Amino acid sequence: MGDEDGRVDGRTERGRRRRAEIIEATLAVVTRDGAGGVTHRTVAKEAGIPTSLSVYYFATLDDLLVAALSSVADVYTARVREIIDHRDDKLRGLAELLHESAGPGRERALAERELSTLAARRPALRPVARGWRESVAELAAAVTDEPEAVAAVVAASEGLCTALLLDAEPAPVEHVHGVLARAAGLRAAPTEGAGRGR
Amino acid sequence: MGDEDGRVDGRTERGRRRRAEIIEATLAVVTRDGAGGVTHRTVAKEAGIPTSLSVYYFATLDDLLVAALSSVADVYTARVREIIDHRDDKLRGLAELLHESAGPGRERALAERELSTLAARRPALRPVARGWRESVAELAAAVTDEPEAVAAVVAASEGLCTALLLDAEPAPVEHVHGVLARAAGLRAAPTEGAGRGR
DNA sequence: GTTCTATTTGTACTAACGTTCAAGAAATCC
DNA sequence: GGATTTCTTGAACGTTAGTACAAATAGAAC
């Protein structure tokens, strides 16, 4: 705010784009080699820039990792919010989002897990990592009133994501949805075979 | 095996102890600095031995990490099995075990998470990381017959552990137990209306 | 044009890394 | 005793890490 005229400083504007590029390159490195593979040099090489430019934007490696995790978390949070706002069957939407972790979204989910593991050790990252869980809790609160059910949905989401990342064969969406529904307390009896639920 | 006489080679015996010492030192380093802090040098310094001795027992860093994760996973698996065999209220036992992650067992749980995150990237570690989930599944199978409920308990366990590690204030055991029971289908209101909540 | 700020680059420094290796000490075997 | 296997050590190899810094470029302000 403050620059109601369309004029922007082309230098800082370019800087913003560079920053985003570097974060993107960082996520690519995390995806390929894990958080341990993130160095100023590897990130710079991934982005096709000199090492010192990466240092210019992120003075320490920690800054870089914090920014990368925040970026991933923001995307996930936004998607959950989209489900909350524009989706009717919210649990189904969450199930589909989680299920992506086994397929096209696997790399992102892996990066997110790598970085949120760092969060347990670095206090600066903790609020960011908690944000994801809070947005899932918000979604769950739209489905059930019981606080314990909300906690169960959040916990199940975490665990399902882990399972999807670690298991060889991906679980079907119906399974993910079923577990979430059960955690929410919406399901009493198991649907043997192909259930035409509700 | 094969040495039914009490005689053992004092050399290999000492070697076994050294191996265990190095693994213990590795876990201490993982606890303090994370998996990224594990180097032959840091581990050796932690154990009070020269670097080359760490290399003698674990030729590569990967060997060292695999051994460390296996060690942690074995302990957890054994504890779960103990609950399965000698405990009446198995879900309560699991809840108490998980709850330790917020207190005295926090370091171990952190190390376990650090290392199982590695498992998503290194196939050699995957069976080890899966072993923990399978033992929890076995416990859950003793509580419920429905496969989906078993999956829900496993997922909830993972998520609860994450929450206990990341949250500032530890959740009470009752809460952990409640979430597990709900995932197992022991607590959920069957359908809205029929359930008197508890 | 000049001046100022933001961005970009190449280079260089110290420290730590994984790993190798030859030689020494300890236990066992003959 | 000597021969052999196992464990232990210190030093060194080449590589890569984080970081610093001065010079160069690009855009904005004047």
**CA separation for the pair B47, B197 (Å, rounded):** 54
Segment B62-95, tens digit of pLDDT = 889 989 988 988 999 999 999 999 999 999 999 9
Q: Are the C-beta atoms of A68 and A61 separated by less than 8 Å?
A: no
B129 touches chain A (CB under 8 A): yes
Q: Which of A113, A120, A186 sits opposite B120 (nearest CB)?
A: A113
Residue B33: closest C-alpha in chain A: A121
Segment B113-156, tens digit of pLDDT = 887 787 777 777 788 888 889 999 999 999 999 999 999 999 99
Which DSSP symbol is given to B123?
A: G
Query: C-alpha distances in angstroms, B171 versus B48, B98, B102, B184?
Result: 38, 11, 8, 19
Residue B190's pLDDT is what?
45
- Sign for the CA dihedral angle at B155, B136, B179, B194 comes to positive
Buried b (16+ CB within 10 A) or exposed e, A4-19: eeeeeeeeeeeeeebe
Collect all residues with Cβ–Cβ distance below 8 Å to B125 and sequence separation of at least 6: B65, B66, B69, B115, B116, B118, B119
The CATH superfamily of A72-184 is Tetracycline Repressor, domain 2 (1.10.357.10)
| Domain range summary for chain A, segments of one domain joined by + | 10-59, 72-184
To the nearest 10°, report the CA torsion of A132, A133, A138, A140.
Answer: 130
Residue B198's pLDDT is what?
41
**In Å, how far is B75's CA from the nearest CA of chain A?**
20
- Mean pLDDT score of chain B, rounded to an integer? 86
- A169 by Cβ neighbours in 10 Å (0-12 / 13-18 / 19+) ranks as exposed
Query: C-alpha distances in angstroms, B14 versus A102, B10, B41, B150, B151?
Result: 45, 6, 21, 43, 43
Residue A190: closest C-alpha in chain B: B146
Q: Are the C-beta atoms of A147 and A138 separated by less than 8 Å?
A: no
Segments in chain A below pLDDT 70: 1-7, 10, 187-198
Indicate whether B5 pLDDT > 50: no
A156 touches chain B (CB under 8 A): yes
Indicate whether B99 pLDDT > 60: yes
For strand D, give the nucleotides within 7 A of a protein CB: 5-12, 16-22, 26-29
Residue B187's pLDDT is what?
67
Residue B188's pLDDT is what?
53
Residue B48's pLDDT is what?
95
- Tokens describing residue B124: 């050699």
Print the SS3 string covering chain A.
CCCCCCCCCHHHHHHHHHHHHHHHHHHHHHHHHCHHHCCHHHHHHHHCCCHHHHHHHCCCHHHHHHHHHHHHHHHHHHHHHHHHHHCCCHHHHHHHHHHHHHCCCHHHHHHHHHHHHHHCCCHHHHHHHHHHHHHHHHHHHCCCCCHHHHHHHHHHHHHHHHHHHHCCCCCCHHHHHHHHHHHHCCCCCCCCCCCCCC
Residue B155's pLDDT is what?
96
Query: Are the folds of B9-59 and B68-184 the same?
Result: no
- Tokens describing residue B73: 């996973």
Segment A126-138, tens digit of pLDDT = 888 888 899 999 9
Chain A hits for B162, Cβ within 8 Å:
155, 158
Residue A188's pLDDT is what?
55
* Residue A9 CA distance to nucleotide C2 C1' (Å): 20
Q: Are the C-beta atoms of B133 and B123 separated by less than 8 Å?
A: no
Fold exhibited by the domain B9-59: Arc Repressor Mutant, subunit A (1.10.10)
Most confident segment among A10-14, B23-27, B189-193: B23-27
Is the distance between the Cβ of B191 and the closest atom of strand D smaller than 7 Å? no
Residue A7's pLDDT is what?
56
Contact B34 A190 (CB under 8 A): no
The domain over range A10-59 is classified in CATH as 1.10.10.60: yes
CATH architecture of the domain B68-184 equals Orthogonal Bundle (1.10)
Q: Give helix B173-184 / helix B147-166 axis angle, nearest 10°.
A: 160
Picking from A132, A158, A165 by the largest number of B CB atoms within 10 A of its own CB, the best residue to mutate is A158
Residue B7's pLDDT is what?
57
Strand C CB-contacts below 7 Å: A 9, 11-12, 14-16, 18, 49-53, 56; B 7-11, 14, 38-42, 51-52, 55, 59-61
